Structure 1
Amino acid sequence: MTKRQAAFYSMTIPALLLFFLLHTYPAIQGIFYSFTNWDGFSEGYRFVGFNNYASLFKDNNVLNSYLFTFKYALVVTILINVLSLLIALGLNSNIKYRNLFRGIYFLPNILGVLIIGYIFNYFFSNVLTQLGDKLGSDVLSVNILGSEKWAWIGVVIVSVWQGIAFNTILYLAGLQTIPKDLYEASNIDGAGKWTTFWKITFPMLAGFFTINMVLALKNGLFVFDQIIALTGGGPGRSTQSIALLIYQGGFQGGEFAYQSANAVIYFIVIIAVSIAQLKFLQRKEM
Structure 2
Amino acid sequence: MADTVTTAPGAALRASSAPRSKSSLAWRARLPGLIMGAPAVLVFLAMFIVPMILAFVLSFTDWNGYSLNLNFIGFENYLHAFTNPRTVDAAIFTVVLAFFGTIFCNLVGLALAVLISGPGRSNTVMRTVFFYPYIISALIIGFLWSAMLAPNGVVNSLLGQVGVPVLPFLTDVTFAKASVILTIVWSHFGFNMVLFLAGIKSVPAEYYEAATVDGATPWQQFRNVTFPLIAPVLTVNLVLTLVGLLKAYDVVLALTDGGPAGSTQTIVYQVLKSSFANADLGFGAAQSVILLIATAVLGLTVTLARRGAEKKVTD
Question: Under a length normalisation based on structure 1, what TM-score does the superposition of the two structures give?
Answer: 0.92
For the pair 1:84 / 2:109, whether they are aligned, the reply is: yes
For the pair 1:136 / 2:174, whether they are aligned, the reply is: no
- Deviations 1:99-143, CA, capped at 9 Å, x for gaps: 1111111211221111111111111112223334444321xx234
Letter of the 1:258 partner, please give it.
Answer: F
1:1-12 alignment runs, 5 A limit: 8-12=33-37
Alignment match of 2:286 (pick from 255, 258, 261):
261
- How far off its partner does 1:42 sit? 3.2
Distance 1:74 1:225 in 2: 18
**Which structure's CA Rg is the greater one?**
2
- Deviations 1:14-71, CA, capped at 9 Å, x for gaps: 4433433333222221111111112222343311111211222212211111110011
Query: Do the aligned partners of 2:168 and 2:175 also contact (CA within 8 Å) in 1?
Result: no
Alignment match of 2:74 (pick from 49, 72, 83):
49
Distance 2:145 2:227 in 1: 33
Distance 1:18 1:171, change over 3 A: closer
Residue in structure 1 matched with residue 95 of structure 2 by the alignment:
70
- How far off its partner does 1:5 sit? 5.7
Distance 1:173 1:247 in 2: 36
Question: Under a length normalisation based on structure 2, what TM-score does the superposition of the two structures give?
Answer: 0.84
Distance 2:119 2:52 in 1: 50
Distance 2:32 2:119 in 1: 48
Residue in structure 2 matched with residue 16 of structure 1 by the alignment:
41
Query: Do the aligned partners of 1:224 and 1:244 also contact (CA within 8 Å) in 2?
Result: yes
* RMSD across aligned positions (CA): 2.0
1:102-251 alignment runs, 5 A limit: 102-125=127-150, 126-138=153-165, 141-251=166-276
- Deviations 1:117-174, CA, capped at 9 Å, x for gaps: 1111111112223334444321xx2340111121011111211111111111111111
Distance 1:87 1:7 in 2: 44
- Segment drifting more, 271-280 vs 101-110: 101-110
- Segment drifting more, 157-166 vs 235-244: 157-166
Distance 2:263 2:272 in 1: 16
Distance 2:34 2:269 in 1: 39
- How far off its partner does 1:209 sit? 0.7
Distance 1:191 1:22 in 2: 51
How many equivalent residue pairs?
284
Distance 1:202 1:24, change over 3 A: same
- How far off its partner does 1:243 sit? 0.6
Distance 2:209 2:35 in 1: 53
Letter of the 1:66 partner, please give it.
Answer: A
- How far off its partner does 1:240 sit? 0.5
Distance 2:225 2:39 in 1: 47
- Deviations 1:60-106, CA, capped at 9 Å, x for gaps: 21111111001111111111111111111111135552111111112
Distance 1:199 1:127 in 2: 43
Distance 1:20 1:179 in 2: 41
- Deviations 1:254-285, CA, capped at 9 Å, x for gaps: 22111211111111111110111000001111
1:29-40 alignment runs, 5 A limit: 29-40=54-65
Query: Do the aligned partners of 2:169 and 2:176 also contact (CA within 8 Å) in 1?
Result: yes
Letter of the 2:261 partner, please give it.
Answer: G
